[in-house]
């Protein structure tokens, strides 16, 4: 297993307070979840998770926002928060906290919509920040393609660096491959991962990355 643990940092950027607050908020919500009795937790997930069949009929639209702050387990939370911690700060440092907060939330909504309209009959609630984080990854690959991403390789207990273009390019190819495999209604219903949320969020992030990239000009790109 391989996962990112660091990257090159923008020099002279704004402090990424929103990125850190998002990590804290997601963690606090998850702690609240695990303190709930099992029956209450199920009701909580059904109330605030994004259920595709409701979304496509224009119902419970608030869950497009609330679902991105829920998680289904410790590994789900930790995986998402590690990606958010590694990749979000550079973007926020360049575009500013207000723009980043709006970008993140819109990315999460678009991701949830992408999932809903590729799993229109599903009654399984989608939860997790991965759609919004996919938007972050999409913007990152455009804004910082040459950034060196530090990866921890568990099997070897060591780290290695690869360009963001390579790591994130491989990541989105995986999402596209798996997303294509879930296009049938039965496959979409049975899949435990909202692949099209990742793809939709990433596509939005790529578009915004081109818009935000000129904002890099005032900064020396990377810290030592």
Q: Specify the pTM.
A: 0.94
CA distances from 174 to 25, 102, 167 (A): 28, 27, 11
Name the DSSP letter for residue 213. G
Give the mean pLDDT per block of 10 residues along the chain (224 residues).
90 93 98 95 97 97 98 96 97 97 98 95 95 98 96 89 96 94 64 89 98 86 51
pLDDT at 3: 86
* 3-class DSSP state of 6: strand
pLDDT in tens, 104-157: 999 999 999 999 999 998 999 999 999 999 999 999 999 999 999 999 988 888
**Beta carbons of 91 and 143 less than 8 angstroms apart:** yes
How far apart are the C-alpha atoms of 11 and 104, rounded to whole Å?
22
How far apart are the C-alpha atoms of 189 and 92, rounded to whole Å?
35
CA distances from 185 to 74, 96, 126 (A): 29, 40, 16
């Amino acid at each position: 297993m391989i996962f990112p643990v660091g990257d090159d940092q923008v020099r002279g950027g704004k402090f990424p307070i929103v990125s850190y607050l998002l990590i804290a908020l997601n963690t606090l919500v998850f702690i609240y979840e695990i303190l709930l009795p099992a029956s209450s937790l199920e009701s909580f997930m059904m109330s605030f998770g994004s259920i595709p069949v409701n979304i496509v009929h224009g119902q419970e639209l608030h869950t497009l926002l609330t679902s991105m702050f829920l998680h289904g387990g410790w590994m789900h939370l930790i995986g998402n928060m590690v990606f958010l911690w590694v990749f979000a700060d550079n973007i926020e440092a360049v575009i500013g906290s207000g723009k980043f907060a709006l970008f993140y939330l819109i990315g999460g909504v678009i991701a949830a919509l992408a999932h809903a309209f590729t799993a229109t009959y599903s009654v399984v609630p989608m939860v997790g920040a991965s759609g919004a984080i996919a938007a972050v990854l999409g913007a990152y690959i455009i804004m910082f393609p040459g950034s060196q991403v530090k990866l921890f390789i568990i099997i070897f207990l060591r780290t290695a660096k690869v360009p963001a273009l390579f790591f994130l390019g491989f990541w989105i190819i995986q999402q596209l491959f798996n997303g294509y495999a879930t296009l049938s209604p039965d496959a979409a219903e049975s899949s435990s991962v909202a692949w099209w949320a990742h793809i939709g969020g990433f596509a939005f992030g790529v578009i915004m990355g081109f818009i935000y990239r000129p904002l890099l000009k005032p900064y020396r790109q990377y810290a030592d």
